[in-house]
Each structure stands twice: as C-alpha cells, then as structure tokens.
Structure 1
Amino acid sequence: MKAPHWIAGAWVGVPSADSIDPATGESIGQFADGGAAEADAAIAAARNVFDRTTWAQDARLRQDVLLAWAGALDAQREPLATLLTRENGKAIAQSRGEIAAAISEVRYYAGLARHIAGHVLESEPGTISTMLREAAGVAAIFVPWNAPAVLLVRSLAPALAAGCTAIVKSAAQTPLVIAAMLRCFEQTALPKGAVNLVHEIGYAAGERLVESHDVDIVSFTGSTATGKKIMAAAAESMKKLSLELGGKSCCVVFEDADVVAIAPRIARAATIISGQQCTAARRVLVHARRAAEMREHLTRALEALRVGEGINEAMDIGPLIDAATRDAVYQTIARACDEADRVLLRGTRSGHAFLSPTLIEHSDPKAFFCQEEIFGPFVTLETFDTEAQAIDRANDTVFGLSASVWTNDGARAFRIARALRNGTVWINDHNKLFAEAETGGYRQSGLGRLHGYDALADFTEIKHICMPAGVAEGIAPLR
C-alpha cells in the first residue's frame, strides 16, 4: 500500500518511507515523509474551506458527509481491521473491535451535527442575548499509533460535526491505516481541503501545526511530556487545546470481591494492545486479606495469555509497536524487577518485538514503577488495609485518567469512585469506553474531554450576540 499526503483533495508526495509490521519487521507499504511545507499547504487548504465556504454553517451537509463516511468505512471493515493489525501489531479481535467502535462513533457525531444548540434569553427588558455555539476554526489532530482508528475518529468526527476543518497528522508507525480511513471520504460530499492528511518521520510538520496562528485548535493524544511541550509551543497563538495524556490506572479490589473471577479480567485489562493503552490497568491495589489469592490468580491469568502475531486468531497479546520500543520497555521493566519487593512473573523477549507480561509486588507507592507510566505489559501489585488507605494510595500519582473499583457493596463502590481523582472510574469492570460517554483526565492526564456530547466543546466557541430590540409600545418600564 502507498500512502501519500492528502492536501486540498489531492494525494501528493512520493511514498518512500517504510511502514513496518512489528510482528515480523517486514515492510508492508510506504508513506510520504513530509515536513513544514506540507503542513503549510494543509493549513492553507483547511483555512480556505473554513473561511470561504458555508461548511461551518451547513449542518445538514456535515451530517450527510459523516453518515456517508461511516458507510464507506463499514464496507471496508475487515480489510481495515487486518491492516490495523499488520501495522500496529494488536490482536485481530481488538482491531475488529476498534474499527467497529470507530464506525459507531462517526454515526454518533453525525447524529449530533444538527443539534449543536445555543440558547436565547432576555437579559434585561428589550435586550435579547443569543448564545451561539459555533465552530472554532481549523483543527490540527495528532493521531497516536496505539489505537489509531478510534483515536482519529474521536477527534475528527466531533470536529467535523461542529463545523471545523482539519489537518490530520498520522503517527509514523501507523500512516497506512489512517490514509485508508481518510480515503473513504472520497465516497462522500466532503469539500476538497476540509480534511487534510500529513505524514512525517520527524517533527517539523507537527511543530508548524502547533505554532501556526492559522490553526485554532490542537487535539493531541500521547505522552504527558509531549503534551507539556505542545502547551508551551501553543502559548503564543493562545489556541484551544484538547489533550489526552498519560495514565497510571489503578484497580482497587476490596475484600468482598471474587478474586478468582476478576483476576483474568484484570489481566486482559492490563495487556490490551500489549499494555500500550493509556487506560490499561497498571496498578492492582488489593485488600491485604485477599492479597495471597490475588498473587496466585493474577500471576496465573497473566501467564496464560498467549503472545504471538496479532493476525493469528489464537493470540491474546501481539508485539509492541517496534523492536526499539520493546527493548526500551524491557530495560525499564528489568530495573523495576531489580528494585521490587517481589517478582511474581518476569516477562521475556522474543521475536522481533514481542514481550510477555511482568507482575511485581511492592509496598512503596513512591517507587518509580508505581508512579511512572510504563507503556507495555507490566503490572504492579500493592495492598491496603482500610478504605482511607486505598483512596490515598490510588490518588498518590500525578495522573488522573482512569481507575476501577471492584466490590459487591454498591454504596462503597460509589463513594470510592467519587473519592478517586480520575476522569473515568469503572465499577467491577475496566476499559469500557463508549462513543456516548466523555473521557479525559484530571491533573497531568490532560485537558478537555473527547467522546460524548462534551467533545463538541473542544471544537466550538460560544458567541454572545446582543441586540437591543426594545419593548413594545404601550409597555411601561418598572424602573
């Protein structure tokens, strides 16, 4: 497959950089390697459509485009899932689920496109205040490699529904699947230049998108460190930022939970996308009375997961995104094992980029491996004695993206969920994400919310239009 840039409705640039299958190390296609010039051209195209056409005012057209895009994606559902697994490495069942979720989310925002409501009030006698929620402008969307299909859609779909135009920047590890998804717009009435795509290996295009005064919104999903750099670079233009950043999700397991039943579920939540998901279960905080059971059953559940090529239906865990990343994660995990109180399961390297799960137990929540996001199949086990201790330990982190509470006591589940400083808290589940339900983080896990109705806030501005209409003749003012 060849993936050029897509700018102003034309596929441009010579695909020459290889996209690598992380399971084998082999090239599966080529993509164009761009930079600042391609970013400038894409910005100009998006700016022209936003400023010089009625795209931002034509909600019915935007809905038609989104519905047609969903239909075109649906027709390519299995090829897209296969391409996603070959380019990203994840288990094919996860890729099928991701493509299905992306299609569902496009349809969800198509439904909202014609109901981006404002409100009207009479702020004083005869003065009419109208609040319009209108498109914020040109959006730069940075799509990460770990879940590129659904993370493309969860920014691009609300941006288009709101009336924005967009420049998508793919991750260098997954450009082919992004290009394949955007190519489906060719079967719609999308205006040329309303959506643009730029690939690059380096950073020049991304830096131009963040710094440009002609870009009004940056929507970025990725590491907290990169998110901080984007905030600093965007300060000069004061653009809107939508940032979903790192996480260190904690599963809080109380003494009444069925450890035997939940251990396999937590193991899968910890190893989704080979542990390369920001909401993956990374810390398991279990009541001390159930610690022995959790050690045994979580170790057994992680050990039972099958590691291999994601395209093989029998595999549970695919490779990490590339060999260099796998080796770096492995070295960090090796250091954690050296410093941990106890190593319950030590992961091993194999093949081009495979890494099996590691489980360690530790008593100090301040340890680097309890605090830092390690983007791989790595889990820490910790214990607590009281509710207050569980809350304190779970909240002892700079992150606040997600967590889960495991208990049969409904009142306890809710009060613990309220006490946890996280944007999403699941009860007796983990990693349940929906188009309809907003996600985002507290603290250093980011700014704004994506998914759900509130995602539109990241791509809109509220305008107050005030008109002194006066009062009807014969009506006397009271003061």
Structure 2
Amino acid sequence: MQIARHYIDGEWLGSVSGNETLAPSYNPATTEVAAQFADGSKAEAEAAIAAAVRAFKGTAWKNSAKLRAEVLLAFADRLEAQKETIADWLVTLNGKLRREALGEIGAGVSELRYYAGLARNLFGRILEIEPGCFSSLDREPSGVAAIILPWNAPVTLLVRSLAPALAAGCTVVIKPAHQTSLVNNLVLECLVSDSRVPKGVINSVIESGTEVSRWLCESPDVDVISFTGSSGVGKKIASATADTLKRLSLELGGKAPAVVFKDCDLDKTVAGIVAGGLVMAGQQCTAVARVLVEDSVYTDFSAKLAQALKAVKVGPGNDPSSQMACLIDNANRDRIAGLVETAERTQKVLLRGAIPEGALGRGAFITPSLVEVEDLASNFVQNELFGPLLVIERFTTEDEAVHRANATRFSLAASVWTTDMRKARRVATRIRSGTVWSNTHNRLFAEIETGGYRDSGYGKLHGVEGLNDFMQTKHFYFETGV
C-alpha cells in the first residue's frame, strides 16, 4: 500500500522522532482504504519551519532568479510526464472525473511555466528624488511561506501558491489535505528530484488534525500564509496570525451567482450553468451556486434546467461515460442529502437529488438537486453548500438582479448571461465580485488574477499580482555627493 510521508530538509520521513503514526486515506467512490499517510504533529512542523529558515538564510536560492526559473520549467516538464499516474491517484483519492483530474494537472503545468518566466523579471525601480539623491526600490522575497491546502483540487491549488512563492525566492512549508496527501507527494517528487533545489527550500507536513496548521500560523519564523479553504477557517487563521502580523493570502468560500437575462440563448445558458455548477460535483468555491433568472423566462428556464440536471449521469470518476462523480466522503454526501430533506419542508424543490441504489450507494454519490428560494435571508442563499445543490431565484429588473447577486457576504465569482454586451459589462461592474464571466463560467488562467472580496478573502492568486504576497519592497536611499 502506498504511504504518503512528510518531506523535511531534503528527506522523506515518517516522523522526526522515528515513531511513525499511519492513518488511512479512502477512495470516496467505494469507501475502501486506498492509501495511508504519516500523521504529523507540531514536532514535524517545527522541524520543517527550521529547515525552511536555514535554507532561506543560508543558501543562494533567494538570489538565484535564473536557477529558480530553470527549476520551475523542469518541474513543469516532470509533472506533465507523470500526469497519467497522478491523475489515477487523484481520481482514486478525490473521486473526481478523470477529465477533471487531467485538466487540473494541465493547469498546474501552465502555472509553473508562467511563473518560470516571471522569476527572471522581478524588477524594482530607481527614482532621483532631487539632484544627486536617489531612492532604489528593491523587490525581495518575503521569507518562509506556509501553504495550507484543501482536498478539492490538490494539484492546482498547490501549484498556484507554490509556483509564485518559488519564483519570488521564498522557501516553503506545505500542509496538504490528508485525504489527498499522496497526490501532493507525487507532485512534489517532480520538484524535489531536481538536485539543484537546496535542502530545506521545499518542506511538507501532513496531518489529520489542526496542530500543524495552528503552529504554522503562530510561529514567528513563518512570514506568509497562503490558504485556500472555507471562510470560517480563514477567519480563524487571520485571528491566529494576529500576534505575528504575517502576510496573508486567503481564498475562501464562494456562493457564485449566475445572472440569467431573458435575451440570453436559453439552451446554451442551461448547458453552461450545468457545467459551471456541477464541476467537481459542486465542490469548487467558484462553482455556480445560485441561478438568478429574469421573471419573463423563469418558468421555461427553470424547467429546462431541472431537466438538464436530472439527465446528468452520475458515476465513478474513471468511467468515461460519467458526467458527475462523487463527493469527497459519505459524511458530505449525507450532509447534502439532509439539506435536500430540509428544502422539501421549507422551500420549493424543483429537482430532488438522491443517493443512488446499488454499488454507487456505498460511495459518496448523490444526484443533483434544484431548489427554488425567494427569501434572501434563507440559509440556502446565505451559506456555502459545497455540493451538487443549486438554488434558483427570480428577478424582475436589472436593479433587483444586482441586489440579489450582492445579497451575501461571499464575493469570489459570478457570471452574467445575456446577448447584450453593454448590459453584461454594466451589470458586471455593479456586482461585488473578484471575477465576473460573460456567457460562460469557471474560465481560469495562469495569467489572470483571481481572488474575492469580503468573506471570500483577500489577496490575489495567478497573474503578476500573485507574486505580491510572496515579495516585499525595500527602499534604499543614497546620495552621489552632487
């Protein structure tokens, strides 16, 4: 059985004491044990942080931009070469569709190559304030960066923080999700097999609890936390880092509205919302969660959407005919099933999702649901549900559409569906969201920054701005004697 272990100061370890504690990782499609992981503690976190500090202070890594670029390019090539094996394990441990797994790895490869280019272009600037008096503004790496990851997209979410951190010259400590820790190890092997990477630049500690994450937040030797996950945990991280005033990059929860106007192409919009809402079985923070539909087409559109969701084939991620795979575990499957039962008592259910019978019933499978909600204060509108349960609402005017779209504290992503591009731009400007797509959803690129407002977090990932949280600006003043 494959075992995921910690990587600390250039070595794969079961523990720093030699007393390895192993825990199981499950296949959510079958509930069977698929792998194991070494369960870490504060001792492993301290060792990893110490190694990262030594590497940052004692090696030439932070001053070697060309080397960092070459390492990232080699990392991308090795990751691409291993994509089939990594995709197999991603499907096994996460449960997602194989095409989603391959797409995720491809996005990671693109991200690495993009930041490899930026690594050699980290320019500062010089300004002559007055004759003979100069200010030099130098760009420097922030120091030790901790990357805390969820399970839903372990390759993409690792690389989109790791690539800019390494490009900037930081050293890193990674805390992967234990459910998919073996996937993270397979990705890291593509990097740490490069002998040019100094010991201590890359470190990774796995845990099933919170002790490691808590120490990463509290340690005065960690300079940056890059976290992707729920808003609730993000707020706890912000609180835990207050005493050390770390720089934080937080991409948190989402409740993405898709605003559907009467002049849209109804059939294409339905197809786009099904794809955007059921990506990773709805377990993506940017997935469509709320569908706001103009009143004059509401009846027709809601019927079409319910029928399209009902027709989705739910099945194992390694079955090419499957259109949606399972959730991460049976506990989350049962949570979604409970929400559907609540909706039947309190809302109007247009499509009732259910746990399949037979072999699929043993795994974390549940079919999609569509729930009609009018009250903006409803938990179905205000809370992130993180599963294949879509909420549909109606509006009559453009102002009401904007009001409803902005009615939650989440503001990560949204989409506007209309053939009137002036309307699309106008509405997008008024929606408080870090990303707004037009007539599509979930289009993400290495070159383009993403990030939310309010309870969806702060900081940016991807793009040039993705480097900012891993870099500092130093002002050096000097005079020439003129």
TM-score, length-scaled by structure 1? 0.97
The answer on 1:366 being equivalent to 2:377 is yes
> What SS does the aligned partner of 2:476 have?
strand
What is the CA deviation profile of residues 72-131 of structure 1, one whole-angstrom value per residue up to 9, with x for unaligned ones? 111101111111111100011110100111111111111110011111101122111011
Query: How far 1:386 sits from its partner (Å)?
Result: 0.8
Query: Match for residue 273 of structure 1?
Result: 280
The amino acid of 2:235's aligned partner reads K
The amino acid of 1:153's aligned partner reads V
The amino acid of 2:146's aligned partner reads A
The match for 2:64 among 52, 58, 64 is 58
Query: Match for residue 324 of structure 1?
Result: 331
Query: How far 1:243 sits from its partner (Å)?
Result: 0.2
Q: How far apart in 2 are the matches of 1:363 and 1:447?
A: 30
Query: Match for residue 8 of structure 1?
Result: 9
Unaligned ranges ≥5, structure 2: 15-19
The answer on 1:94 being equivalent to 2:105 is no
Q: How far apart in 1 are the matches of 2:100 and 2:135?
A: 48
The answer on 1:291 being equivalent to 2:280 is no
Query: Match for residue 238 of structure 1?
Result: 245
Query: Match for residue 111 of structure 1?
Result: 117
The amino acid of 1:442's aligned partner reads Y
Q: Is the 8 Å Cα contact of residues 72 and 187 (structure 1) preserved in structure 2? A: no
Runs of 4+ in 1 over 3 A off after TM superposition: none
The match for 2:40 among 6, 30, 34 is 34
The match for 1:377 among 371, 385, 388 is 388
The answer on 1:416 being equivalent to 2:417 is no
Query: How far 1:453 sits from its partner (Å)?
Result: 0.7
The amino acid of 1:410's aligned partner reads M
Q: How far apart in 2 are the matches of 1:97 and 1:259?
A: 27
The answer on 1:127 being equivalent to 2:133 is yes
> What SS does the aligned partner of 1:349 have?
coil
The answer on 1:466 being equivalent to 2:472 is no
Query: How far 1:313 sits from its partner (Å)?
Result: 1.1
Q: Is the 8 Å Cα contact of residues 155 and 450 (structure 1) preserved in structure 2? A: yes
Q: How far apart in 2 are the matches of 1:407 and 1:262?
A: 9
What is the CA deviation profile of residues 356-400 of structure 1, one whole-angstrom value per residue up to 9, with x for unaligned ones? 111011222221101110010010111111111111110011011
Q: How far apart in 2 are the matches of 1:77 and 1:319?
A: 21
Query: Match for residue 300 of structure 1?
Result: 307
Q: How far apart in 2 are the matches of 1:339 and 1:458?
A: 44
The match for 1:395 among 406, 418, 436 is 406
Q: How far apart in 2 are the matches of 1:430 and 1:16?
A: 40
Q: Percent identity?
A: 50
The answer on 1:209 being equivalent to 2:216 is yes
Query: Match for residue 190 of structure 1?
Result: 197
The amino acid of 2:420's aligned partner reads D
What is the CA deviation profile of residues 152-181 of structure 1, one whole-angstrom value per residue up to 9, with x for unaligned ones? 000000000000000010101110100110
> What SS does the aligned partner of 1:17 have?
strand
RMSD: 1.0
Query: How far 1:329 sits from its partner (Å)?
Result: 2.5
The amino acid of 1:36's aligned partner reads K
The match for 1:404 among 415, 421, 430 is 415
> What SS does the aligned partner of 1:252 have?
strand
Q: How far apart in 1 are the matches of 2:318 and 2:34?
A: 14
Q: How far apart in 1 are the matches of 2:292 and 2:21?
A: 48
Q: How far apart in 2 are the matches of 1:294 and 1:47?
A: 56
TM-score, length-scaled by structure 2? 0.96
Q: How far apart in 2 are the matches of 1:222 and 1:423?
A: 16
> What SS does the aligned partner of 2:322 have?
coil
Query: How far 1:332 sits from its partner (Å)?
Result: 2.5
Query: How far 1:334 sits from its partner (Å)?
Result: 2.1
Q: How far apart in 1 are the matches of 2:72 and 2:268?
A: 41
Q: Is the 8 Å Cα contact of residues 289 and 390 (structure 2) preserved in structure 1? A: yes
Query: How far 1:15 sits from its partner (Å)?
Result: 6.4
What is the CA deviation profile of residues 317-363 of structure 1, one whole-angstrom value per residue up to 9, with x for unaligned ones? 111101112112321232133211x2110110132211111101122
Query: Match for residue 344 of structure 2?
Result: 337
Q: Is the 8 Å Cα contact of residues 402 and 422 (structure 1) preserved in structure 2? A: yes
The answer on 1:256 being equivalent to 2:256 is no
The match for 1:23 among 24, 29, 37 is 29
Q: How far apart in 2 are the matches of 1:426 and 1:444?
A: 20
Unaligned ranges ≥5, structure 1: 472-479
Query: How far 1:201 sits from its partner (Å)?
Result: 0.7
> What SS does the aligned partner of 2:323 have?
coil
Q: Is the 8 Å Cα contact of residues 260 and 293 (structure 1) preserved in structure 2? A: no
Query: How far 1:429 sits from its partner (Å)?
Result: 0.4
What is the CA deviation profile of residues 38-94 of structure 1, one whole-angstrom value per residue up to 9, with x for unaligned ones? 000000011100011111111011011111111111110111111111110001111
What is the CA deviation profile of residues 175-223 of structure 1, one whole-angstrom value per residue up to 9, with x for unaligned ones? 0100110011233221111011100111111111110000000000000
The amino acid of 2:138's aligned partner reads L
The answer on 1:163 being equivalent to 2:163 is no
Q: Is the 8 Å Cα contact of residues 411 and 434 (structure 2) preserved in structure 1? A: yes
Query: Match for residue 475 of structure 1?
Result: none
